[in-house]
Amino acid sequence: MRKLALEDDILLKVEKPARYIGGEIGSVMKDPTRVRTRFAMCFPDVYEIGMSHLGIQILYAMLNSREDIWCERVYSPWTDLDAVMRERHIPLFALESQDPVRRFDFLGITIQYEMCYTNILQILDLSGIPLHAEERSWDDPIVIGGGPCTYNPEPLAPFFDLFYIGEGETQMLRLIDIYQECRAQGVSREEFLLRASSVPGLYVPSLYKTTYHEDGTIASFRPVVPGVPERVRKEIETDLDHTWYPEHPIVPFIKVTQDRVVLEIQRGCIRGCRFCQAGMIYRPVRERSLSFNEDMARQMLDSTGQEEISLSSLSSSDYSNLSPLLENLIEECDRRHVNISLPSLRIDSFSLDVMKRVQDVRKSSLTFAPEAGTQRMRDVINKGLTEEDILHGASEAFRGGWNRVKLYFMIGLPGETKEDVQGIAELSEKVCETYYDAVPRENRHGKIQLTASSSFFVPKPFTPFQWAKMLPEQEYLRRARFLKDTFRAQKCGRSMHYQYHEADVTVLEGVLARGDRRTAAVVESAYRKGCLFDSWSDCFDRERWQAAFEENGVDPEFYTLRDRSEDEIFPWDFIDIGVTRKFLRREWNRAMQGVVTPNCRQACSGCGAAVFGCGICRTHGEKGGQAG
């Protein structure tokens, strides 16, 4: 019987002790003396959020499929346990074996959100691993980062030995093979990293150097060792039917954010919203076959006993086999008394018949994301939704028995005017009025309940808006307060609730999203001042972050409020995602003109993703690979 890393007196004192004990159904146990490589897979947030991440479950299944590899899980200890571990000098441990992370060969960290950066340093610090890669030896694990934030890894470059750019199924096992060869040959850690740099998708930050102009912009970014690639191309899995998937997902002991079976039906998105990083970096769209999805759904429900299954993708409505898949799942789930969740539906392709059949009689709220309140602004961001689409979809939903709606918007988009902000409240009012127009009084289930939420716009790398300025924090707040007052003045004001995101967190996210290596010192200073769980509003401490910027002589406004020239070198320009800079700039210009670009099924826009020779680019257009 394995011994827990935490004594009973600690587990009884901390919140949700089940976060730290492991042993869940579906978790993998191996004999550490019979494996060659131990891999600690980390999500730098609490267990409930990390356990909801499908990517880790996929890599966990893949790595553990090899007898010579044991992959275990690590999550950020919540603040209560963090304090105890520091006080009692308890090293951070993996859930399965309860062994200290520092004993492992690899520490893989998925980086999903900029506001988790201080948590990454917490993971390293509690593990006893030097924060800076240059200070590590073979006594420390190889620290490798993956996930969407690695598409600009520079704010974290000093802390990582490696970054994996793209989808982990393609090269991760090859990397481990190289590691095993290097350890068997007794070569240096530096030699291993040099060999790893030749693997497609792998970026070794210590092998590159940045120089700067006097104005602070980047002058050059290049390798410092001959033979190291100038650019790193992302890795993608071209055939999603013949790759790894967790047939036996881990079933948590406690309720987690995604407490259900997750079926990833496709990757990528055809839509091309100009603010959306995921829509660009995950191109081209690749679908899993109908038979794969049907078989995998049955296997996961069999192995977990979960009472809900969710179809996962960036835009579920655009999956070409959605209708027959749902027909099969509805029959299967009815038999099992399992609920079906359909996130990422577009209001213009809303299917009332489908929703009636997959939603139970509670008629839980429907969620749609118009993103902008006026047609002009929706054209700027290339949302591809008209007001008629939105109101027609809402009308059909209300006739089907729903009376609770959530609408998501953004404030501060490029070129936004006062009328665009006001349009958010006015559109929400029209949705409310549609309820009373569409549903006779005798058929209504109470009043309409509408919740409108707005985030503040953050420009992200590899989007057409990567050139855009942000707004000052006070301007974000001024627009949000104006919008709140506008909501109150609407006729349906009592039926509508409006809420907005924290502006100070947004500004910091904007700095880190487009930051360079100089911002790494700010992250480290903030961590040493006590910043942790920055994405949690009750933990975020703006004063400590401000002090960290001042301490390092870094002006956050350089990264948020400044105009960027068309040819400025960005910190992420060494990464090749297939989608070309020329295409992104063309989309920026079209945005400024309010011109809509058709989606990938309507016409190929020549974005460059056809270079991968797979998915929708192979079936709906071939000219994309020729774009400059």
pLDDT in tens, 18-51: 999 999 999 999 999 999 999 999 999 999 999 9
Say yes or no to pLDDT of 462 above 50.
yes
Say yes or no to pLDDT of 2 above 90.
no
Tokens of 20: 């730290």
Give the DSSP per-residue string, 250-300.
Answer: -B-SS--TT-SEEEE-EES-SS--TT-SHHHHTPSPEEPPHHHHHHHHHHH
Give the DSSP per-residue string, 293-359.
Answer: HHHHHHHHHHHH--SEEEEESS-GGG-TTHHHHHHHHHHHHHHHT-EEE--S--GGG--HHHHHHHS
Instruction: Give the 3-state secondary structure of residue 185.
Output: helix
Instruction: Give the 3-state secondary structure of residue 371.
Output: strand
pLDDT of residue 393: 86
Is 347 within 8 Å of 406 (Cβ atoms)? Answer: no
Looking at this protein, which amino acid is placed at residue 583? F
pLDDT digits 0-9 by tens, 375-427 = 999 999 999 899 999 998 889 888 888 888 999 999 999 999 999 999 999 99
Is 519 within 8 Å of 556 (Cβ atoms)? Answer: no
Say yes or no to pLDDT of 363 above 60.
no
Say yes or no to pLDDT of 258 above 50.
yes
Q: How far is CA 334 from the centre of its chain?
A: 32
Query: How many beta carbons lie within 10 A of that of residue 551, not counting itself?
Result: 14
What is the percentage of the chain residues whose pLDDT exceeds 70? Answer: 96
Is 410 within 8 Å of 372 (Cβ atoms)? Answer: yes
Q: How far apart are CA 141 and CA 71, in angstroms?
A: 13
pLDDT higher for 144 or 362? 144
* Angle formed at CA 212 by CA 208 and CA 213, multiple of 5 degrees: 155
Say yes or no to pLDDT of 362 above 50.
no
pLDDT digits 0-9 by tens, 261-315 = 999 999 999 999 999 999 999 999 999 999 999 999 999 999 999 999 999 999 9
- At the fourth CATH level, which superfamily is domain 8-233? Cobalamin-binding domain (3.40.50.280)
Which residue reads 């929706």 in tokens? Answer: 378
Segments of the chain assigned to CATH 3.40.50.280: 8-233
Q: Measuring CA to CA, how many Å separate 150 from each of 145, 153, 244, 624?
A: 7, 4, 22, 24
Segments of the chain assigned to CATH 3.30.750.200: 349-501
Query: How many beta carbons lie within 10 A of that of residue 324, not counting itself?
Result: 12
Say if domain 349-501 classifies as CATH 3.60.15.10.
no
pLDDT digits 0-9 by tens, 466-504 = 999 999 999 999 999 999 999 999 999 899 999 999 999
Average of per-residue pLDDT across 528-554: 97
pLDDT of residue 364: 63
Say yes or no to pLDDT of 365 above 80.
no
Is 97 within 8 Å of 91 (Cβ atoms)? Answer: no
Which residue reads 């009689």 in tokens? Answer: 361
Q: How far apart are CA 129 and CA 40, in angstroms?
A: 13
Tokens of 114: 């900029």
Instruction: Give the 3-state secondary structure of residue 10.
Output: helix
Q: How far apart are CA 215 and CA 594, in angstroms?
A: 32
Mean pLDDT over each residue of the chain, to the nearest integer: 94
pLDDT of residue 400: 80
pLDDT of residue 348: 55
